[in-house]
């Protein structure tokens, strides 16, 4: 008996929207989104999805995970088996679920209502894909290699298991070493005129040039993502954030040398040639612009108007000026957020107040224990987020303090 013909990519995409997933169009034979701003425009409209293959019979598609309420455990590369076994020993076994065999590993789909942050390089060979992220959809063909459903012919939502609680807890854990004071930036589409600059990854801004560059590139071990515009722009922004390179208009020799080593490490896994990688990185470098340091500006504004929300007899050491300055900074950030949540990493807090990261962290925890502020959401290096706080003290907390939040900006 003749074996049945494999189902088309279009048929798998129709199954995906049929079970309520939201999808995006990818370029033919590629993992790359076909259109800019893809993260804002996933669809579950069957007619819109069918039109992709009317226009291009070889199109691929991606599953927007956050919009679909999904998280994918992406096991890839030579180290994936050992990392999975280690993770399951630590956190318990992953339940059987809908699985896609990828060219170099597997995608395991689990249900999750957008509570898990994306964590790239969580363990060697293991990525956690979630939130504003997509996975190449089952049935797609990349470089003539298929993404095949394992153990079934079509997408069946009933086969998708819930991610175990122990895994959720581990993946939501804060990573204080790599929290940021900037919120996550969206992928940057081709042709954008400029990219806002900002402080780079913790521990590298302001350090000596070559060592700082090496530290930045060390944060991006996932060479398979060289095809991502987001990655190129983040690398350029974070390297140029180093004080030695802020005033340069082209990547200096130490930077291009580090970029070359980074590309060579993963050249077998990327669609970009060295010339393309260098051109994209240089283009991003030129477009980045730096505004004034927002944290330093906030602290200056708070001090200029005498904003000091700490009641002296409540602070364990009333003479501790850095603690008072940090509290003033937090209150000012809250005021600028309209009394809402604000981002703050302990390393950046320490930098602007001129104390160590560890001391800044101890002050922030003390403020929480005193009930002055609460941690709304822990930060995550994978999602490029700082810890998110809310300042709890009301306006006019103390007549002697000038009333944090009750003033106009100077």
How far is C-alpha 248 from the chain's CA centre? 26
**For 164-169, what is the mean pLDDT?**
88
pLDDT at 204: 30
**For 118-146, what is the mean pLDDT?**
87
Flag the least confident range among 35-39, 74-78, 94-98, 326-330.
35-39
CA neighbours closer than 13 Å in the CB half-sphere of residue 169: 6
**What tens digit of pLDDT does each residue of 272-285 get?**
678 778 888 888 88
Q: DSSP assignment of 161-210, as one string?
A: EEPPHHHHHHHH---GGG--SSPPPPP--TT-S-EE----STTTTTS-HH
Q: Please give the residue that has the higher pLDDT: either 141 or 307.
A: 141
pLDDT at 94: 95
Whether 114 has a pLDDT exceeding 80, the answer reads no
Q: Which residues contact 25 (CB under 8 A, 6 or more apart)?
A: 33, 34, 35, 38, 52, 59, 60, 61, 62
How would residue 188 be classed by pLDDT, with cut points 50, 70 and 90?
very low
- The answer to whether 98 and 149 are in contact (CB under 8 A) is yes
- The answer to whether 349 and 326 are in contact (CB under 8 A) is yes
pLDDT at 405: 30
Q: How far is CA 123 from CA 191, 353, 366, in A?
A: 34, 34, 32
pLDDT at 244: 74
**For 51-73, what is the mean pLDDT?**
92
Whether 189 has a pLDDT exceeding 50, the answer reads no
What pTM value is reported for the model? 0.47
Pairing mode, if any, of strands 342-343 and 141-142?
A: unpaired
How would residue 271 be classed by pLDDT, with cut points 50, 70 and 90?
low
Q: What three-state secondary structure class fits 153?
A: coil
**What tens digit of pLDDT does each residue of 331-387 get?**
888 887 777 778 888 878 887 888 888 888 888 988 888 888 888 887 765 445 678
- The domains of the chain, with CATH numbers, are 9-172 (3.30.2250), 198-289 (no CATH), 294-391 (1.10.10)
CA angle 141, 150, 46 (to 5 degrees): 55
Please state, in angstroms and rounded to a whole number, the distance separating the CA atoms of residues 373 and 392.
5
**What tens digit of pLDDT does each residue of 291-328 get?**
556 777 788 877 776 555 545 556 677 677 888 888 88
pLDDT at 3: 47
**What tens digit of pLDDT does each residue of 144-157 get?**
899 999 988 899 98
Whether 44 has a pLDDT exceeding 50, the answer reads yes
């Amino acid at each position: 008996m003749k074996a049945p013909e494999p189902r088309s990519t279009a048929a798998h995409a129709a199954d995906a929207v049929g079970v309520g997933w939201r999808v995006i169009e990818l370029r033919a034979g590629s993992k790359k989104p076909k259109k800019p701003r893809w993260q804002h425009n996933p669809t579950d409209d069957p007619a819109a999805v069918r039109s992709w293959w009317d226009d291009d019979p070889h199109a691929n598609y991606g599953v927007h995970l956050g919009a679909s309420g999904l998280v994918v455990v992406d096991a890839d590369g030579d180290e994936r088996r050992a990392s999975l076994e280690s993770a399951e020993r630590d956190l318990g076994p992953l339940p059987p679920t809908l699985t896609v065999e990828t060219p170099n590993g597997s995608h395991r789909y689990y249900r999750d209502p957008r509570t898990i942050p994306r964590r790239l390089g969580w363990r060697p060979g293991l990525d956690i894909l979630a939130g504003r992220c997509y996975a190449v959809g089952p049935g797609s063909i990349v470089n003539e290699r298929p993404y095949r459903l394992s153990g079934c012919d079509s997408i069946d939502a009933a086969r998708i298991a819930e991610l175990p609680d122990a895994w959720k807890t581990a993946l939501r854990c804060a990573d204080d070493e790599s929290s940021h004071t900037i919120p996550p930036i969206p992928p940057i589409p081709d042709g954008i005129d400029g990219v806002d600059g900002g402080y780079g990854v913790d521990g590298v801004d302001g350090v000596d040039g070559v060592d700082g560059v090496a530290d930045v590139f060390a944060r991006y071990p996932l060479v398979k993502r060289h095809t991502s515009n987001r990655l190129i722009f983040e690398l350029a922004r974070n390297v140029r954030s180093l004080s030695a390179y802020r005033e340069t208009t082209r990547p200096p020799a130490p930077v291009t040398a580090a970029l070359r080593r980074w590309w060579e490490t993963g050249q077998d896994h990327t669609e970009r040639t060295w010339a393309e990688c260098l051109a994209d990185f240089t283009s991003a470098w030129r477009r980045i612009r730096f505004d004034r340091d927002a944290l330093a500006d906030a602290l200056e504004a708070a001090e200029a108007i005498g904003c000091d929300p700490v009641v002296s007899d409540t602070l364990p050491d009333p003479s501790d000026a850095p603690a008072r300055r940090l509290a003033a900074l937090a209150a000012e950030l809250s005021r600028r957020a309209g009394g809402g949540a604000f981002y703050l990493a302990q390393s950046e807090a320490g930098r602007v107040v001129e104390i160590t990261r560890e001391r800044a962290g101890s002050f922030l925890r003390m403020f929480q224990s005193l009930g002055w502020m609460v941690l709304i959401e822990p930060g995550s290096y994978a999602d490029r987020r700082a810890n998110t706080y809310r300042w709890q003290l009301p306006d006019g907390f103390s007549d002697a303090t000038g009333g944090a939040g009750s003033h106009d900006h100077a």
